[in-house]
Amino acid sequence: MMISRPTALPPQLMGPMGSLGGKAEVENLQHALTNLAIATQRPQINPGPVTGVINDATMTAVSAGLGLLSEQLPTWAYLALQAAMIAGIQTTAAKDAVASAATQLTVAANTAAVKYKVQAPPTMALTPAGFFAPGWYKTPMGMGLIAVVAFLVYRYVIAPKKAA
């Protein structure tokens, strides 16, 4: 008995028997590109909203991040993407190449996000303004305050008491 597969189903419902670069692989790629954009602080790599469709924003993000992804991609995938993008990143051939290499691009983007992560600059501590700003004790008023406090400590704490 031979089981035939229906041909009228959308690719999302066909599972692993469906076409390459299905919706789930493209969604994973878009998530990985978003993570790469955040980790490297390069907004041009962000593909925008995750739709599961290879649109112009996804192609622009792949093109912008291809320099970071090249070390993590297999040679065959990198060369296929380069060859497909020669005519332009908005062409159908380029979109098909990204769709067929979506899994490899996802792995490469996640690896690159860890490898090229940029540490956020440390936040500056707020410095107090006014009289007790840094270096207040070097000002004439600061020196006067220190002298008055020193005199009061000597007079009421350290000085010997007079016998009556």
Which tens digit of pLDDT belongs to each residue from 120-152? 777 766 666 777 778 888 889 999 999 999 999
Q: Is residue 8 part of a domain?
A: no
Domains in the chain, number: 2
Average pLDDT over residues 11-36: 72
> Is 45 found in the same domain as 94?
yes
> Is 56 found in the same domain as 134?
no
Q: Is residue 6 part of a domain?
A: no
Q: Is residue 1 part of a domain?
A: no
pLDDT classification of 89: cutoffs 50, 70, 90: confident
Tens digit of each residue's pLDDT (9 = 90 or more) over 42-70: 999 999 999 999 999 999 999 899 888 88
> Is 160 found in the same domain as 108?
no
Q: Is residue 109 part of a domain?
A: yes
Q: Is residue 7 part of a domain?
A: no
Cα 19 versus chain centre, distance: 31
Average pLDDT over residues 104-117: 92
Tell me, what's the pLDDT at 148? 96
CB 113 within 8 A of CB 68: no
Q: Is residue 13 part of a domain?
A: no
Q: Is residue 155 part of a domain?
A: yes
Tell me, what's the pLDDT at 8? 52
Q: Is the pLDDT of residue 10 over 80?
A: no
> Is 103 found in the same domain as 160?
no
> Is 54 found in the same domain as 27?
yes
What does DSSP assign to residue 14?
Answer: S
* Amino acid in the structure at residue 145: L
Average pLDDT over residues 81-103: 87
What does DSSP assign to residue 161?
Answer: P
Residue owning tokens 């290499």: 101
Tell me, what's the pLDDT at 164? 64
Range(s) of the domain holding residue 162: 124-164
Counting every residue written for the chain, the total comes to 164
Residues sharing a CB contact under 8 Å with residue 37, sequence separation 6 or more, in sequence order: 43, 44, 45, 46, 61, 65
Q: Is 126 or 108 the better-scoring residue by pLDDT?
A: 108
Q: Is residue 9 part of a domain?
A: no
